Structure 1
Amino acid sequence: MKTLNIIPAFLVAALSLTSCSDDWDNHYDRSETAATESVLDMVKGNPDLSTFARMIEIAGYSDLLGSSQTFTVFAPTNEALAGVSLENTDEVKRIVANHISRFNNSTASDAAQGVKMYNGKRFFFDGNSFGGATLDDTDNIATNGILHIVSTQIPYVYNLREYFDTHDNTSAIAEFIARFDEKQLDLESSVAIGVDEKGQTVYDSVLIDYNPVFDRYHGIGDIANEDSVFTMIIPDNVAWQKAYDRISPYFNVYNDDQAVADSIRDVQTSLAIISDLVYRQEVEDPAAFPKLMSTTGSEIFDVPALFAGTTRIKASNGWIYAAPRVNYDNTETWNKEIEVEGETQTGRTPGAGTTINVRSVDSDNPFADVISEMRYIEVSSTSPSRQPGVTISIPDVLSGQYDIYASFVPANVLDATAVNDSTRVSFTISYMGANGRSTTSRFTNSDFITRPTEMTLIKVAEGFSFPVSNYYDPLWWMDETHSSLDQTVTTSVYVTTNVSNTEFNRGVMTRRFRLDRIIFVPVKDLAD
């Protein structure tokens, strides 16, 4: 069993007292300014800084600032901290970390580089101020750094996560995201100290904060990272509830245990709300953007509509748009079009007596621009008496309405002489019913005929309703114990020829078709 002895990263190694720049060395003669006190002792020894000294203790930074590591402290005077409640530990910690930086940062430092504070935020010297706070007494040399005294607090600017974590009117989004906060072992920073009786490595361990919702590839991005730049629409609690009420019917999950079904529905609905709130760039004027791509890959084409009614607020790592409403177009965000290529082998099953061949076209083929991925499947019968068919599985169908289409490639795509090769097709949609049992709906129409010399798009069904969703969310996919083999797809479309023996024997129609893809187009949800 591993021993988890938490050692914060800032205690892994002691840093010697060095200057940040040649300017520091040129500005001071250390022989004339030999320090005798640590930066902590200097703060504690100044009666005008007694409140900040107490805050350092409450925040748990006393040992750190009294150590041999090098820090610069921008200590606010008692008067500057008069309105701070020392009983609010979270606020105290935020303020203290906002006034401490690593290394020596004197007023002679390069102002253009800025100073990265202990909380990751970056501030700049600007004449007689630093980060918006007035410098009162500067460049006091300590044995382990520098003390500056400021007569006002450095204004605290929230990053995106801090904003909704600290505002009562955004508690809904904060509480949902906080469900997934955890600690993970940082192997790069942890030190192996031996092996246990089972031969497993034992670490003096460093644990780091982790939340899968912030995953770079499957989540919305690390919106708490001070070194990144984002724009985020942050819904207030009223907006969150309205969005929840609008979206939750689309995640109507069936499970034998209703409590499990409700839990899945709640998580998937909430993930849908946050899925496209974040953008990996600064959006100062939404009207200037013809389109935006969210961190989850959704493309927004009516940017002003998405940001309508919001209030812009500067964050330490980008921009916040406080929103009284979530203006999603469902078909661009959480309820996108589903396209399944015929040539996709996963989830494709041939019917009885059916042969399936995957075909492709070259870029100079006249149909290259209209055949998706320039590939399709040719479905034919192994004997003249059979009606060939193929089942295509459709993943991630929500419990909503879809217009369903099938796209077919003409017979002359590879054979210019095949100008009379057409067929009639029918469709059977299989899906899970509200009772958890599989059910089917068959669609036939005399007009479901493929054209021999041009692409054919058949509208199979309009506004077809699925009572149960069959969706696997990003958190499920991020679980290392899950794979595509664990995914059960309950929705499928069976495509088969529907040609009578008379039609076939007379050569009116063939029993062969070329399927490009199946398309599920969600019905646009016109929100109130």
Structure 2
Amino acid sequence: MIDFKPGYFVLLFLYTCLAFAGCKDAWKDHTEINIERLDRTLFEQISNDANLSTFTSYVVKTGYDAVLKSSKSFTVWAPSNEALKSIDPTVVNDTAALKRLVGNYIANQSYFTTAPKPSLVIRMLNGKNTIFTKTTFEEANINQADVYVKNGVLHTINAASMPKANAWEFLQSLSTASLQKDFIKSQEQEEVDTSKGVLLYKDPVTTKGVYQEGTTFKVIRNRYFQRISNISSEDSLMTYIILNNTAFTAEQNKLAAYNKHANALYADTLTKWSVVRDLVVNKVYGLNELPDSLTTVTGVKIHLDKSAIVETRLLSNGIAYVVNNIGYKLMENKIPTVVIQGEMPDSLRVPANPLARIKNDPQGKRFTDLQTGSITSSPNPLYYYRYKSTVHSVKYEVYWRAINDILVAPISMKVDFNTSRSFGSVLFPLATVGYRSVPSIIGLAQGSDAYRDAYKEVYLGTYTADTYGTLYTFLASSLAASSTAPTALSLDYIKLKPVN
């Protein structure tokens, strides 16, 4: 048996207390929250850092010090004094420009470096978008990260980050003259914004609203932004294609033949609109990410050859490529096929209300057509369906799909075109003139070749549109005054396919 003396226990107790005290101090150092820093605002934290004194002076000069003292939460990416040496003095001396610059480093809410996975696009107080990763802010590296204070988070960066232009700002800033910019600029128009107007009454002659004075205001709107894409918006990201003047002129010369019009000025506008219409892609593609085919917001597929790119610019709303050439399939994309759906007539003349039918073809695909039952009278002009569409000045191959499950006998119909809405005035028949017979499928076995063939589209002939504009297509019955055999009208679609 070991005999422990009383002094031993006293020494053991003292050593234990000393060891516990040491551990307690170490743990306290490890876990203690910096209470002093949590009492500071972002402005106080920044202004207490000598390495951020230049940025502090800019914050004060632009009035952002009041923002960074407020109770709201913000994130600041503060550039060091060394980083701000590269800023152009003209920016520093221009209060508006300096405010845009300082606002480019401040965002609402708190963003720690754990948030990007792997990156975040963040809206800054100047309205611009920036890219934040775990280690970078735009092109700058983060030297000190995640400094948490009373009203947000501070990161210190090693390079200045100038506000990036959006697609429209970049297009307007090009140092050389730009035909693309000039045309899009020409689409601006002054309008009266009545969204908050107080309506007093409607003019009985013009039917236009008359509003209380002072409740409406004039605004400038751009047709291109409204109809194609608002390339000035910071709310969407895009790949924007800019044609240099050589490429723009080449496209204009190519497309002029398909936009002919009696009014030369209108034809010129149509052609230029066709040039600029298909240049916006609703996705950002870096240079090394460009696919073989890009689908634009208009649905047109284009091809960008990397060798044709003369400048690349990162934007606040995406990326822009200035190119000297652009590729696409003219007749499949730029000059579209016109498909006229049978169940959507612009007007009609039939003996009774036609019936829109939802059916399945032999492959099980659902479609809707329009049919009129047995026609036994002979009006003047003939019974017809009329359709309104827009065509380019080009030659079209014309097809239809029409299903005769109405009569046992074949039905006979024809397609005519007119630039006037009146049937029987100045009609432009197909190059292959005459009525076409649509055989009946009544009594045919559904799996037979004859049954399947009846659902195939049929080539009718060609039609050449002399000018761009509205075209009225008429599907007419064949019942003449001397005929006694009944007929009918039936149409799934008419297709006008452009050809060279």
TM-score (norm 2): 0.64
1:426·1:445 contact (CA, 8 Å) conserved in 2? no
Q: What does residue 462 of structure 2 align with?
A: 461
Aligned length in residues: 432
State whether structure 2 residue 243 is matched by structure 1 residue 235. yes
State whether structure 2 residue 78 is matched by structure 1 residue 75. yes
State whether structure 2 residue 394 is matched by structure 1 residue 401. yes
Q: What does residue 57 of structure 2 align with?
A: 53
Q: Which of the residues 99, 102, 122 maps onto 1:96? A: 102
- For the residue of structure 1 that corresponds to 2:390, the secondary structure is coil
Deviations 1:87-125 (A, max 9, x none): 355865553333223345567x65657583333323134
Deviation at 1:340, TM superposition (A): 1.6
Paired residues for 1:117-266 under 5 Å: 117-118=124-125, 119-126=128-135, 130-135=137-142, 148-154=155-161, 159-168=166-175, 171-177=178-184, 180=188, 213-214=224-225, 219-220=228-229, 224-225=233-234, 228-247=236-255, 250-251=258-259, 262=265
Deviation at 1:446, TM superposition (A): 6.4
Q: What does residue 337 of structure 1 align with?
A: 337
Deviation at 1:343, TM superposition (A): 2.6
State whether structure 2 residue 308 is matched by structure 1 residue 309. yes
2:356·2:371 contact (CA, 8 Å) conserved in 1? yes
Deviation at 1:271, TM superposition (A): 4.3
- For the residue of structure 1 that corresponds to 2:367, the secondary structure is helix
Counterpart CA distance in 2 for 1:209 and 1:42 is: 42
State whether structure 2 residue 498 is matched by structure 1 residue 522. yes
Counterpart CA distance in 2 for 1:308 and 1:48 is: 43
Counterpart CA distance in 2 for 1:120 and 1:515 is: 51
State whether structure 2 residue 382 is matched by structure 1 residue 388. yes
2:41·2:151 contact (CA, 8 Å) conserved in 1? no
2:42·2:149 contact (CA, 8 Å) conserved in 1? yes
Partner AA of 2:474 in structure 1: Y
Distance change >3 Å, CA 519–CA 105, structure 1 → 2: closer
Percent of aligned pairs with the same residue?
17
Counterpart CA distance in 1 for 2:494 and 2:89 is: 62
Partner AA of 2:57 in structure 1: A
State whether structure 2 residue 420 is matched by structure 1 residue 441. no
1:234·1:320 contact (CA, 8 Å) conserved in 2? yes
1:39·1:142 contact (CA, 8 Å) conserved in 2? no
Counterpart CA distance in 2 for 1:171 and 1:304 is: 21
Deviation at 1:407, TM superposition (A): 1.8
CA RMSD of aligned residues (A): 5.3
Q: What does residue 87 of structure 1 align with?
A: 90
State whether structure 2 residue 486 is matched by structure 1 residue 493. no
- For the residue of structure 2 that corresponds to 1:521, the secondary structure is strand
Q: What does residue 452 of structure 1 align with?
A: 439
Give unmatched runs, 5+ long, in structure 1: 1-25, 471-490
Counterpart CA distance in 1 for 2:145 and 2:433 is: 87
Give unmatched runs, 5+ long, in structure 2: 1-30, 202-210, 441-453
Q: What does residue 17 of structure 1 align with?
A: none
Counterpart CA distance in 2 for 1:426 and 1:138 is: 75
- For the residue of structure 2 that corresponds to 1:96, the secondary structure is helix
Deviation at 1:180, TM superposition (A): 4.5
State whether structure 2 residue 429 is matched by structure 1 residue 431. no
2:431·2:462 contact (CA, 8 Å) conserved in 1? no
Paired residues for 1:273-312 under 5 Å: 273-283=275-285, 293-296=295-298, 298=299, 300=301, 304=303, 309-310=308-309
Deviation at 1:338, TM superposition (A): 1.4
Q: What does residue 27 of structure 2 align with?
A: none
Q: Which of the residues 357, 372, 375 maps onto 1:360? A: 357
Higher-Rg structure is 2
